[in-house]
Amino acid sequence: MPTRIIDLAVAIEDGLPSDPEKMIPHIDYTDHATGAAQMTEYFPGLQPEQLPAGLGWAVESIQLTTHSGTHLDAPYHYHPTMDKGAPALTIDQIPLEWCFQDGVLLDFSHKADGEAISAQDVATELERIDYTLKPLDIVLVRTGADAFWGRPEYLIKGAGMTRESTLYLLERGIKVVGIDAWSWDRPLPFLARQFQAEGDPSIIWEAHFAGIEQGYCHMEKMANLHHIPRPHTFKVACFPIKIKNASAAWARPVAIVAE
């Protein structure tokens, strides 16, 4: 059966202001001419003009965090423990079978920036698309925030999940989820304003901290969820780069759709 692969990742780009300043990636590009000069260091006696067109390799050096670009967060990102006391898994310990499963797309792009996605919202959307979750489904949440990727306002765009809506998914055997916004939670500035007004610490990072009760992974900064043609009957692959003892790693998630 013919299939189509839909790219669900953003590109890591130099200097994009879609992260807090300390997290913005920086890329140094070594072009082919500079690469030719570098190659002479490895091959004594070599002259650059002896190489094809006088050019050598191209190489990049990148400064970034494990949470730059589209990435998969491990339970260790949220807390040292998960599943009510077990050691939290780091990204290199995530079972790979979690990362290749049937996908489910929940569309909350109609919600306002900073609005909460409740457990009832999730249940209503599942009823609308006529789907019953099964263990290990990969649930993708569309907010529409990815339309602002590359701009500073991306940081405050999109609705976000809550503790109760996250646990609603986890209690049904879900292990990997994803969102097209900067955070699985509501945008941090909205949470900060609510905390200042109410003084209630339980709202801080509440969807992330749900992983203390039940371990799970989530992808953030996804893209192109609106290109997935159906809300289910597609596969998701989202294998993370293997970084020892890390809280997250970069991923290139894709939706695999049967035509």
Region 66-88: mean pLDDT is 98
Kindly report the number of other CB atoms within 10 A of residue 212's CB atom. Answer: 18
**246 plus 223 within the same structural domain:** yes
Are 43 and 136 found together in one domain?
no
Q: Are residues 106 and 204 in the same domain?
A: yes
CA 122 and chain centroid, separation: 20
> What is the pLDDT, as a whole number, of residue 248?
98
Cβ distance 2 to 248 under 8 Å?
no
Q: What confidence tens digit (pLDDT) does each residue in 8-65 have? A: 999 999 999 999 999 999 999 999 999 999 999 999 999 999 999 999 999 999 999 9
Q: How many separate domains does the chain show?
A: 2
**What one-character DSSP code corresponds to residue 231?**
S
Cα–Cα distance list, 247 to 26, 71, 83, 194, 242 (Å): 21, 10, 16, 27, 11
**Containing domain of residue 35, as a range?**
26-63
Q: What is the mean pLDDT of the chain?
A: 98
Note the pLDDT tens digit of each residue in 21-33: 999 999 999 999 9
- Say if residue 54 is in the same domain as residue 107: no
Is residue 115 situated within a structural domain? Answer: yes
pLDDT confidence bin for 2, thresholds 50/70/90: confident
Q: How confident is the model at residue 165 (pLDDT cuts 50, 70, 90)?
A: very high
Q: How confident is the model at residue 259 (pLDDT cuts 50, 70, 90)?
A: confident
Please check whether residue 97 lies inside any domain of the structure: yes
In this structure, the answer to whether residues 51 and 122 fall within a common structural domain is no
Question: pTM (2 decimals)?
Answer: 0.96
Question: What number is the average pLDDT over the span 167-193?
Answer: 98
Statement: residue 153 has pLDDT above 90: yes
**pLDDT tier for residue 175 given thresholds of 50, 70 and 90:** very high
Under a CB-based contact definition with an 8 Å cutoff, are residues 157 and 148 in contact? Answer: yes
1, pLDDT greater than 80: no
- Domain membership of residue 2 (yes or no) is no
